[in-house]
Amino acid sequence: MLALDNIRVIDLTHLPPGALCTMILADLGADVIKVTAPPETSQRGAGAEAMLTESDSRRMTAFDALNRNKRSIQLNLKHQDGHKVFHDLARTADVIVEGFRPGVVKRLKVDYDTVRDINSRIVYCSLSGYGQDGPYSTFSGHDINYISIAGALSIIGSPENPSIPLNLLADFAGASLHGVIGILAALLARERTGRGQYVDISYTDGVINLLTWFFSLHFASGISPSPGKSWLHGAYPYYSTYRTKDNKHISIGCVEPWLWENLCRALGKEEYIPHHIAAEHFHQPPQDEKWLEISSYLQEVFLTRTRDEWFEFLSDKNVPVAKVYTLAEVANDPQIIHRQMIVEIDHPSLGKIRQPGIAIKLSETPGRIRKLAPSPGEHTDEILKGLGYTDRQIKQLRRHKVVG
């Protein structure tokens, strides 16, 4: 048994944040049906797909963890008959997730109000940059824009330049994870009310939610964190990264006084023990020259051993230390392997392939990777037959380019 057995999700998303949201639901057991347009009816991504050879496409699909555990149907939502197929599918669904700009799903006749009229139990989740309402709701944007508006970009990086943190904050934390939380909350509420509801997830709202602690400190003190000038930004040597003898890096996180004491004793520098975190470190760079001395010493001493040697030495002394890994190194770390966060899966032609594992560990109903990502439209006939369509009707839909 899986936690989300018998929950059907229709995935209308077309970007990685939406795919991660529905991947998590699929990993936990939901029957996720990914809807994409037949290639001859869509311009989205057509150029990139056309550049791939059949072999490259097959390989990319095999490693596409974001779409694992899903089924795929190609459906033309701009065609009248495509609307009917979608509405038939929506009648059987528990959840719909879409990531279009506000207003698009209404034009396509697959919006919440339309679906609710035929399925009052539907949980309908929209992922959008700024939300479904407000003066920015129709603006285009990407992660960098959302973390700018939410204030995150201004407090990350160095004092000279903001540092762009890939697309982790708005896309995958602000949208994907908040989308999963909203969907699961709405499904739980449905158990009590018998009714579904609309879940409006804004990438920007999600980032502000992630910054709750920082906003609380700001509203209390009137001070905003400055990049590179506070304890969490590496301004103080007890919370920073250091280059090692082999030109790699380790990270040190000795925030608590006793952990700082452990580091100082391990290095034979007990005189540094009294110098640990203070209230002013939350919002200003070091004012005491002693901190510059300590920082300089740590930079020099960490150059005397390799990254792995320091990790072995300090982790044994109860010092918060970690190796700064490349992605390739992550996959071979014993802790990551033990937690099954990098797993090997059998592929019929490619042999063993590796993918990230399942982060949500449930003791009674654990998630499972049941199948690899489907090729586009791989399950079109299977899904349509499950809705009661005959072979003749399916052939006719394909002839009219309604399905692919």
Asked about 88 being catalytic, the answer comes back as: no
Q: Does residue 270 fall inside a structural domain?
A: yes
Read off the pLDDT of residues 218-260 as tens digits, 9 standing for 90 and up: 999 888 888 888 888 889 999 999 999 999 999 999 999 999 9
Same domain, 347 and 389: yes
Read off the pLDDT of residues 351-374 as tens digits, 9 standing for 90 and up: 999 999 999 999 999 999 999 999
- Comparing 286 with 87, the larger pLDDT belongs to 87
Question: 175, 115 in Cβ contact below 8 A?
Answer: no
Q: Does residue 344 fall inside a structural domain?
A: yes
Same domain, 314 and 366: no
Print the domain residue range for 267.
Answer: 231-243+249-323
Residue 39, Cβ neighbours under 10 Å: how many? Answer: 16
Same domain, 319 and 187: no
Residue 295, Cβ neighbours under 10 Å: how many? Answer: 18
Counted domains in the chain? 2
Boundary-marking domain end, from 294, 323, 352: 323
Q: Which of 11, 27, 94, 171 is catalytic?
A: 171
Q: Does residue 221 fall inside a structural domain?
A: no
Same domain, 270 and 134: no
Question: 157, 225 in Cβ contact below 8 A?
Answer: no
The answer to whether residue 46 scores a pLDDT higher than 50 is: no
Same domain, 304 and 384: no
Q: Does residue 2 fall inside a structural domain?
A: no
Read off the pLDDT of residues 126-140 as tens digits, 9 standing for 90 and up: 999 999 999 999 999
Read off the pLDDT of residues 270-322 as tens digits, 9 standing for 90 and up: 999 999 988 888 888 888 899 999 999 999 999 999 999 999 999 999 999 99
Same domain, 264 and 177: no
Q: What is the CATH number of the domain that holds 184?
A: 3.40.50.10540
Asked about 142 being catalytic, the answer comes back as: yes
Residue type at position 280:
E
Q: What is the CATH number of the domain that holds 305?
A: 3.30.1540.10
Residue 220, Cβ neighbours under 10 Å: how many? Answer: 8
Same domain, 276 and 362: no
Boundary-marking domain end, from 323, 351, 380: 323
* Mean predicted lDDT score pLDDT of the chain: 94
Residue 100 neighbours by CB under 8 Å, 6+ apart: 12, 14, 108, 126, 128
Same domain, 129 and 238: no
The answer to whether residue 153 scores a pLDDT higher than 70 is: yes
Q: Which of 56, 117, 133, 142 is catalytic?
A: 142
